[in-house]
Amino acid sequence: MVKTEAYSYLEYINRQPKTDIHNHALSSCRFQFLKQNGVNLPNNYKMNGIASLIDFSRKYLTPLENEISTLKLLLEGNFLNCIETGVKIVCPSIDYKICLRTFYGNVQTFISFLQQFQYDNLKILWDLSISRDSFVEHRQLFIDLLQTKFFSGIDLASTENIKPNSTFVEFYKIANDLNMKTKVHAGEMLGSDYIKQCILDFNPKHIQHGISIVKDKEVM
């Protein structure tokens, strides 16, 4: 009886229309989907926190990003999962380095690749992501991608404060001037002081995660 009730409740939740404004584009599809499409993944990998999740992604998912066919598979799996769970609007975040690694810095080819993902019952609003802990200086490429006006938002992710915020302030000024949805991952690993610093430095429209803010009513 309990299983039936739980299953019915999950079905009910899946049927409700949703907006996913925090979607990791290349790590949000289901294991089973990838395995059914020929991707070799470990059966008994234990994930018990952020560190193990990052480790899994780097070992098994990041290599898939380097080939257009498997990159397409990761994105298709994500969007099909969105549709199956009742998401109507999704904001997938994709790292700018995909343009560099997989499309050799060709902005138009990268944009054309992303434009192919269109669904009648799912609206896709792309976020352009920067990973703090693997950021390499390709300033002009990132600016060129922002200025295409294809992306709806910008997102700074990964290990908090591993590089000074000043590294990324210029990009946020451009994005804010373009009226993009500016987002920052903050307060998941560090405290509310870091959230406050990101607000002051980037003037973002969204703080992603931000869970440590509950300990600081003043910042909240």
pLDDT at 5: 59
pTM above 0.85, yes or no: yes
Burial class of 44 by CB neighbour count within 10 A (0 to 12, 13 to 18, 19+)? exposed
Q: What are phi and psi of 171, to 5 degrees?
A: -65, -35
Size (the chain), residues:
220
Strand 127-131 vs strand 87-95: parallel, antiparallel, or unpaired? parallel
More confident: 115 or 28: 115
Residue found under tokens 């397409």: 72
- Tell me how crowded residue 146 is: count the other CB atoms within 10 A of its CB: 20
Q: Alpha-carbon distance 144 to 129, whole Å?
A: 14
Is-contact 28 53, C-beta < 8 A? no
pLDDT at 179: 96
Radius of gyration for the chain, computed over Cα atoms and rounded to the nearest angstrom: 18
Burial class of 72 by CB neighbour count within 10 A (0 to 12, 13 to 18, 19+)? middle
pLDDT band at 15 (very low <50, low <70, confident <90, very high): confident
Strand 18-24 vs strand 123-124: parallel, antiparallel, or unpaired? unpaired
Average pLDDT, integer, range 198-208: 95
pLDDT band at 48 (very low <50, low <70, confident <90, very high): confident
pLDDT band at 46 (very low <50, low <70, confident <90, very high): confident
Would the pLDDT of 27 be above 70?
yes
Residue ranges of domains in the chain: 1-125, 128-220
Q: Alpha-carbon distance 98 to 134, whole Å?
A: 12
More confident: 58 or 110: 110
Q: What is the pLDDT of residues 120-171, one digit of tens each?
A: 999 999 999 998 887 777 999 999 999 999 999 999 998 888 999 999 999 9
Taking Cα atoms as reference points, which of 91, 77, 121, 128 lies closest to residue 107?
A: 128
Q: Alpha-carbon distance 31 to 86, whole Å?
A: 19
What angle in degrees, to the nearest 10, is found between the helix axes of 107-115 and 139-147?
50
Residue % of the chain over a pLDDT of 70: 97
SS3 189: coil
Residue % of the chain over a pLDDT of 90: 66
Q: What is the pLDDT of residues 71-107, one digit of tens each?
A: 999 999 999 999 999 999 999 999 999 999 999 999 9
